Amino acid sequence: MSFLFLLGSCGVRKERTLFNAPSDIVTDTIKQVYVVNDQGISDAYYKIKVNDQLAIRNVQNFEFGATGSTSNSTSNAITQQNSASGSISNVLSYPVELDGMVNLPAIGKVEVVGLSRREAAIKIQDLYKNKLLKEPIIELSVVNLKVTLLGEFSKQGNFLLERDNTTLIDIIGEAGGITKTADPKTLKIIRGDRAHPELIYVNLNDINSLASKKLVLQNHDIIVLQPTKSSATSDKLQSLNNILQPLLVVVNLAVLIFTVTR
């Protein structure tokens, strides 16, 4: 009987989990970090690409590059959500065009493709210093970089990768941690080519998992966390109870009517 219950628990949990893979069975035995279809270690410092959206401002002058109108017709006013606090602010972003350039006010086109965020910020800072601003401190972020959290997290959804070397633990912290019904052994990161993705399984119970360089997050990572088997089964039983309870009420009422009218 217990064996059948165990099989049933596994089946119920699988029903509640998104993006199941044949290799998910490893979560019951994983010690630290296990990788399927390993694609190697990516560069920890993101390199700017065509179509990226860059938010650029001078830290010493919040009016520059923050909000408001601009003479640059290629800039886009977007709404950016702060994943940590939930606050929303208008941020002026500039697209990286097909020629690898970003078109900025006063200094015009600047080639940024292939540069890290820090390298691009220093390059733009030097250009503004030479042409327009006195001792500028340029802050640059790529506002379209994100990961997606699904499953047993306190908050689900898209979270921005605002800094280089953002780790799994950083994002879990921004999401408010995991739920009481989460199974820490079942965390899975889906990375890279969606047709043949890299799958990274993480046992959050083991502190040695934190040492893995695979936990430095990449753009478009999907992070999924399953509930415990007991929680999944309990929820399933509760759903069945919600269906059966009204039926039992009807049956009891019918029996009562039958008994009274005899």
- Write out pLDDT tens, residues 123-169: 999 999 887 778 888 999 999 999 999 999 999 999 999 888 999 99
**Domains of the chain, residue spans:** 2-43+145-230, 53-142
Question: HSE-up of 25 (CA within 13 Å, CB side)?
Answer: 3
Alpha-carbon gap, residue 96 to 104, rounded angstroms: 10
In the β-sheet with 146-151, what is the strand arrangement from edge to edge? 33-36, 198-202, 187-191, 222-225, 146-151, 157-160
Q: CATH number for the 2-43+145-230 domain, one of 3.10.560.10, 3.40.50.300, 3.10.180.10, 1.10.10.60?
A: 3.10.560.10
Does the pLDDT at position 7 exceed 50? Answer: no
53-142 belongs to which homologous superfamily? wza like domain (3.30.1950.10)
Residue with tokens 């379209």: 144
% of the chain exceeding 90 in pLDDT: 52
Residue 73 pLDDT class (50, 70, 90 cuts): very low
Does the pLDDT at position 119 exceed 80? Answer: yes
For 137, left (φ over 0), alpha (ψ -120 to 50), or beta? Answer: beta
More confident residue, 85 or 255: 255
